[in-house]
Structure 1
Amino acid sequence: MTIAEQYEYWQDVRKGLSRRSVLRAGVFGAAAVAAGPMLLGRPAYADTPGSAVVPFGRHLAFGNDPATQMRVGWQVPSAVANPVLRVGTSPTDLSQTVQAEIRNLRSDYGTGAPLEQYYGHAALDKLSPDTTYYYAVGHEGLEAASGPVNSFTTGPAGSGSGLKPFTFTAMGDQGASAQAALENAQITAQNPVFHLLAGDICYADPNGQGKLTDSYNPAVWDGYLKQIEPVAQSVPWMVATGNHDMEAWYSPNGYGGHAKRLDLPTNGPANCPSVYAFTYGNVAVLSLDANDVSYEIPANKDYSGGAQTSWLERTLADLRAKPTIDFIIVFFHHCAYAVTTSHVSDGGVREKWAPLFDKYNVDLVINGHNHMYERTDPIRGGKPTRTAGVGDTVSPVTDGTTYIVAGGGGASLYSLPSNGPESYAGNVKDASGVAAGYFGAGGKVTEAVDWSRVRYRGHNLLAVDVKPAAPGGTATLTVRGISVEGAKAGTEIDRITITRTASTVDTPAFGSGALLTGAALAAGAGYAGYAAWRKHRSGLDVPAS
């Protein structure tokens, strides 16, 4: 059953329909019904005085425009009235007040008291670019300005040589545990301007099959938000959704609970809340939901009806048409290319998205799902174009896309195939014909691959150093794999540099005087002008089709 079908079934159960109506789904018994939470329409309000209700779990996310928008979230242990956020450009002058909202998420297991969770949200718009703001949250009975004061810095405006170098971090498969909490120190040490989490956020559902029969404990979210707060209260925490993030009880798309907990950019396709794009300086970042295309775990397969993939192509075309964008980075959960003995690769990702990554020359793809660190050689058309060892430099224009699995964010680690041993900085053991596989429409398919270049079976973090350039200069992404494992924590396990020539023109459509839209580019309109711009930018000929 799909997530949508399970949700419909669950609503029938809630409404107390006849046994015959309930059993039309045909696969769940009373025990399964008792296992999941029931969502009720009415909010519950506690009698706790506001002065005794202490906010926790502060976390940030960009709005659609990182230069001018920030979203602030937090949690409170019971219902409060009149939630507010105070903000200003000085920690001693939080003179602006923004009215916030509390979103109530109610889960009922059918036994005992229901679990009530209360999430605060405040939207900050019309901010100044490249500016540090200070904020505090409160509510009736708890003055915001008297509580902890935190800060964030908006993204930059401008392009080219006017941009400063910056760093961002990424990983996947974190969870709430002592090991997962170790990521905080390593992230902080990189001083990132934002952090990407490539799905499997907190493991409230440890089974990850997207089924009503999965084990599920929504209280895990409380511990997770507390765990990430030391970083996420100042660093935008941008998430994608993985298979452990599908929650069939809350909405037909499986993400109704996240709508209560999280705020993310809203420029993606309708009904796909974790699909979005944002631009920071000369880097565009796209978050995708691979549950929509996965053959391995199909509970939410095709839930967007193709809308996500159509949006992806339009967005990639638009971004490649913008001279201010040097690098395009895409992150999502299920792997296009991975060799562990667990999930391996997903053929749905390869079929639907990898051709678009080739077509629009995506620079870097970041995945989770497989609990390890792995980097491919640059790939085009499903094959490696060259060897790229630790410390090498690659050009996506000539070499193709680099794929990295950074799924060692805290969850238990996976094993490698016997002929694909660990190979990383200081321990290089190159291997060819590595035993691997992928999930296709008919199940798992085995393959032997030569594209797996770096493999590290340890918890890890990805740090990406971005160095913009003046027009005509060389812009770089220096991608570093960092261990978060025992005595090796903080040591570098991998490094690759990705280069591009910074744009030297105001528009990619030479002679047209207007910027081509992504739709026009995708349809081939004005391709000669677009190809001429790419040739000018890269120094290479671009095929006419």
Structure 2
Amino acid sequence: MITPYGDLPDRLARGMYMQEQHEWLHAEVSRRSLVTGAALGASAVLSPTLWQQSSTTRDPGIRGRHITYGSDPTTSLIIEFATAMPIRTAAVRLIAANREQVTAEPARIRTVRGSSRRYCRADFTGLQPDTAYTYEIAVDGRTIGSGRAETAFADRRTFRFTAFGDQGTGRRPRGVLARLEQLAPSLHLMCGDLCYADSSGQGGPGDVFKPHLWDSWLAQNDPAASHIPWLSVPGNHEMEPGFTTHGYAGYLTRVAPGGASPLEIPVASAFRVGSVGFVGLDSNDVSYEIPANRGWTRGAQTRWLGQTLARYRAEGSGIDQVVVFMHHAPYSTNNTHASEGGVIEAWVPLFDKYTVDLVISGHNHCYERVKPLRGGKVVGDGAGVVDSLTGTTYITAGGGGEGGEARFIPIPGKTRIAYAGGREVVNEDWSLPSKTATPSVLTVDVTPASSSTAATLDVRAIAADGHQLDGVRLVRGTPSVGSGSDTPWLIGGGAAAVGVGGAAALWVARHQRGDPSRTHDSVPPSS
């Protein structure tokens, strides 16, 4: 197996986790350096992100501007860019549109083994909410580029976000990206498999590494990512053998995932925009299908997920809907990867317990929406309007442009689920006929709850040519007028005012408390 550190014998790699591969290669590189007397500094050996290389190009221009939110989207931004020129210093200056705030931050300059580019990142905090900024990029004391960025609003208002996974580079991804720009979202969710620099995606023997695809991907996305915050999670193709942080160091050096991440899990994140709480997850951590990184957080990510969802659903949180995004799809009938049992086992019970409204994934290069589910059972037909308090909607949005796969399982009512013992063929009654391999952008228009209207997510799949492939409205319960609560029909925001009564209200209350005797109820009892 060829990695950025050198060759790792396949016979050894087959039995290693990602971190074990890195440790073996680290030791081997250290040994070779001593034997040959190679002039490598200790820091260059310890991490590929510190590997310094010279460049023959004289082009000082920036490549691949990429912005995202920091830990608080209302007051923090991260500005990233790449340059092909060897540089000594880099900085970014932010200028508020009203000129009331001008701030500058030095940018960290990092390199990655296998690439001659310099990847630069500047972190800004203490910014003004809901404020448009112009940013200026300077290297070695001279300005070489600029762009615009905007912090999130702190109040409750309508907004739009988009999502897809499995993008890659080329004609089809560019077409989808152009449609995304025309949709003008406030933010974009990237559901893993960004550029396919590791084209095999197995995290082990046979993986082929093409680091230049990272730079092509950053340059391709520059027109959109330079001003639309991109929040991302890793897919299996971000597990790059030989890199630290369980194979994620190359990804993390080039792209900040955005949001607030647990210290020990830099590839998971949580953030809030308006009335929506978002959670980004590393599904490699629970994947049975491609287990190279399975269990790498030792359960910490799942514990953090439960804590985060409980906080979002706490009384008075002000959060209406919860949206989770990840790479592996828990429910899909696509014949390539189908359904991931690790997600079903580890996380779906938490999605049920905390009544997550929408779960977005990729991995399968298609679009597929399923009927609302609770406890693995269908609780609605998925047509027109769906009550997201009753059931969670799962969408595979892997139509970012890389290799569309129209091969859905040809037997109606069947899917495959990857479990510890292999793939099992099982019956399914949740897949909707709107599934398609047409590349597309998932578009979600958010309307927060008010005293007289329920919170809604208007969800549409839009093809590159602009036509709508599918659509549904997710409405969270039924409003109770005059409740006095900002969020009268959601768990944590005033569950007693949900427009259901009697036994159904008890069901809601039990789920709010996490009553272990009722964690797998499929539907609330009828009143």
Specify the TM-score bucket, using the shorter chain as the normaliser. 0.7 to 0.9
Residue 61 of structure 1 deviates from its aligned partner by: 0.8
Whether the aligned pair in 1 keeps the contact of 2:200 and 2:206 (CA below 8 Å) is: no
1:494-531 deviations in whole A, cap 9, x for unaligned?
1100112679566999xxxxxxxxxxxxxxxxxxx978
What is the aligned partner in structure 2 of residue 401 from structure 1? 392
Q: Which of 11, 17, 30 in structure 2 is aligned with 1:15?
A: 30
Identity of aligned pairs, percent? 36
Q: What is the rounded CA distance, in whole Å, between the counterparts of 2:420 and 2:444 in structure 1?
A: 34
The alignment partner of 2:415 has SS state of: strand
Given residue 215 of structure 1, which amino acid in structure 2 is its aligned partner?
V
What is the aligned partner in structure 2 of residue 129 from structure 1? 129
Name the CA shift for 1:138/1:538 in 2 (closer, same or farther; >3 Å).
farther
Whether the aligned pair in 1 keeps the contact of 2:66 and 2:225 (CA below 8 Å) is: yes
Q: What is the rounded CA distance, in whole Å, between the counterparts of 1:230 and 1:286 in structure 2?
A: 26
What is the aligned partner in structure 1 of residue 9 from structure 2? none
What is the aligned partner in structure 2 of residue 524 from structure 1? none
Q: Kindly indicate whether residue 105 of structure 2 is the aligned counterpart of residue 105 of structure 1.
A: no
What is the aligned partner in structure 1 of residue 403 from structure 2? 412
What is the aligned partner in structure 1 of residue 231 from structure 2? 238
Name the CA shift for 1:223/1:91 in 2 (closer, same or farther; >3 Å).
farther
Equivalences for residues 337-416 of structure 1 within 5 A: 337-389=331-383, 392-398=384-390, 400-416=391-407
Q: Which of 292, 313, 321 in structure 1 is aligned with 2:285?
A: 292
Q: Kindly indicate whether residue 194 of structure 2 is the aligned counterpart of residue 194 of structure 1.
A: no
Equivalences for residues 124-523 of structure 1 within 5 A: 124-141=124-141, 143-144=142-143, 147-159=144-156, 163=157, 165-211=158-204, 213-265=206-258, 267-321=260-314, 322-389=316-383, 392-398=384-390, 400-417=391-408, 419=410, 433-453=412-432, 454-484=434-464, 489-500=465-476
Given residue 439 of structure 1, which amino acid in structure 2 is its aligned partner?
A
Residue 274 of structure 1 deviates from its aligned partner by: 1.6
Q: What is the rounded CA distance, in whole Å, between the counterparts of 2:440 and 2:491 in structure 1?
A: 39
RMSD: 2.6
**Aligned positions, number:** 473
Moved more, 83-92 or 299-308: 83-92
Q: What is the rounded CA distance, in whole Å, between the counterparts of 1:291 and 1:190 in structure 2?
A: 30
Q: Kindly indicate whether residue 52 of structure 2 is the aligned counterpart of residue 54 of structure 1.
A: no
Q: Kindly indicate whether residue 48 of structure 2 is the aligned counterpart of residue 39 of structure 1.
A: yes
1:144-196 deviations in whole A, cap 9, x for unaligned?
2xx4432122111123xxx2x11110001001111111122111111100001
Q: What is the rounded CA distance, in whole Å, between the counterparts of 1:155 and 1:539 in structure 2?
A: 34
What is the aligned partner in structure 1 of residue 20 from structure 2? 5
The alignment partner of 1:57 has SS state of: strand
Q: What is the rounded CA distance, in whole Å, between the counterparts of 2:356 and 2:161 in structure 1?
A: 18
TM-score by length of 1: 0.82
Q: What is the rounded CA distance, in whole Å, between the counterparts of 2:49 and 2:92 in structure 1?
A: 28
1:382-407 deviations in whole A, cap 9, x for unaligned?
12112112xx1111222x10000010
Name the CA shift for 1:460/1:473 in 2 (closer, same or farther; >3 Å).
same
The alignment partner of 1:408 has SS state of: coil
Residue 350 of structure 1 deviates from its aligned partner by: 0.2
Q: What is the rounded CA distance, in whole Å, between the counterparts of 1:442 and 1:418 in structure 2?
A: 20
Residue 534 of structure 1 deviates from its aligned partner by: 1.5
TM-score by length of 2: 0.84
Whether the aligned pair in 2 keeps the contact of 1:323 and 1:507 (CA below 8 Å) is: no
Name the CA shift for 1:174/1:474 in 2 (closer, same or farther; >3 Å).
same
What is the aligned partner in structure 2 of residue 542 from structure 1? 506
Given residue 246 of structure 1, which amino acid in structure 2 is its aligned partner?
M
The alignment partner of 1:456 has SS state of: coil
The alignment partner of 2:228 has SS state of: coil
Q: What is the rounded CA distance, in whole Å, between the counterparts of 1:465 and 1:447 in structure 2?
A: 34
Q: What is the rounded CA distance, in whole Å, between the counterparts of 1:229 and 1:40 in structure 2?
A: 22
1:360-386 deviations in whole A, cap 9, x for unaligned?
000000010001100000001112112
Whether the aligned pair in 2 keeps the contact of 1:284 and 1:329 (CA below 8 Å) is: yes
Residue 5 of structure 1 deviates from its aligned partner by: 1.4
Given residue 110 of structure 2, which amino acid in structure 1 is its aligned partner?
R
Residue 46 of structure 1 deviates from its aligned partner by: 5.1
1:90-140 deviations in whole A, cap 9, x for unaligned?
499995332212112123xxxxxxx32310111111111111111121211
Residue 323 of structure 1 deviates from its aligned partner by: 3.5
Whether the aligned pair in 1 keeps the contact of 2:138 and 2:145 (CA below 8 Å) is: no
**Long gaps (5+) in structure 2:** 1-15, 34-45, 516-527
Name the CA shift for 1:418/1:473 in 2 (closer, same or farther; >3 Å).
closer
1:476-500 deviations in whole A, cap 9, x for unaligned?
100001112xxxx210011100112
